[in-house]
Structure 1
Amino acid sequence: MTAPEAPGQPPEPALRADAERNRERIMEAARRLYASEGLGVSMASVAREAGVGKATLSRRFTTRDELVNAVFTDRMEAYAAATTTALADPDPWHGFTHYVETICAMQAADRGFAAVLTISFPGAAALEARRAESYQGFLELISRAKATGHLRADFASEDLVVLLMANAGVIAATCDAAPGAWRRLVGQMLRAFATPDAPLPPIADAPDSADLYRAMVRMP
Structure 2
Amino acid sequence: MTSATKPLRADAERNRVRVVIAARELFASHGLDVTLDDVARHAGVGVGTVYRRFPNKEALVLAVFDHVLDELVEHIDAAVAEPDAWVGLSRLITDIAEKQAADRGLYEICTRADFGQMERISAHFIPTMEALVSRAKEQGALRPDFEAPDIGPLLIMVAASAELTRAIDPDLWRRYLTMLLDGIRAGCSSPLRIDAPTHEQMDQAMRDKHA
TM-score (norm 2): 0.80
* 1:55 matched residue in structure 2: 48
Deviation string 1:166-198 (CA, Å, 9 cap, x unpaired) is: 22222222223221121112111112211117x
Amino acid at match of 2:51: S
Amino acid at match of 2:97: C
Mapped contact 1:121–1:128 kept (Cα < 8 A): no
Mapped contact 2:18–2:43 kept (Cα < 8 A): yes
* 2:196 matched residue in structure 1: none
Shift of 1:128: 4.1
Mapped contact 2:93–2:155 kept (Cα < 8 A): no
Q: 1:106 to 1:122 in 2, by over 3 A?
A: closer
Deviation string 1:51-97 (CA, Å, 9 cap, x unpaired) is: 11211111111121111111111211111111111111111111111
Give the stretch that moved more between structures: 186-195 or 19-28. 186-195
1:24 aligns with 2:28: no
Deviation string 1:100-136 (CA, Å, 9 cap, x unpaired) is: 1111111122221122221224545xx7425521332
CA RMSD of aligned residues (A): 2.1
1:157 aligns with 2:148: yes
Amino acid at match of 2:75: A
Mapped contact 1:117–1:164 kept (Cα < 8 A): no
Q: 1:161 to 1:100 in 2, by over 3 A?
A: same
Q: Aligned pairs, how many?
A: 188
Amino acid at match of 1:159: D
Q: 1:123 to 1:115 in 2, by over 3 A?
A: closer
Tell me which of 187, 190, 193 is aligned to 1:196.
187
Amino acid at match of 1:161: G
Q: Which runs of 5+ in 2 are unaligned?
A: 189-211
SS at match of 2:134: helix
Amino acid at match of 2:72: Y
User: Matches of 1:122 and 1:113 in 2, distance apart?
Assistant: 12
TM-score (norm 1): 0.77
* 2:100 matched residue in structure 1: 107
Q: 1:143 to 1:107 in 2, by over 3 A?
A: same
Mapped contact 1:155–1:193 kept (Cα < 8 A): yes
Amino acid at match of 1:22: N
Shift of 1:18: 1.7
Q: 1:87 to 1:129 in 2, by over 3 A?
A: same
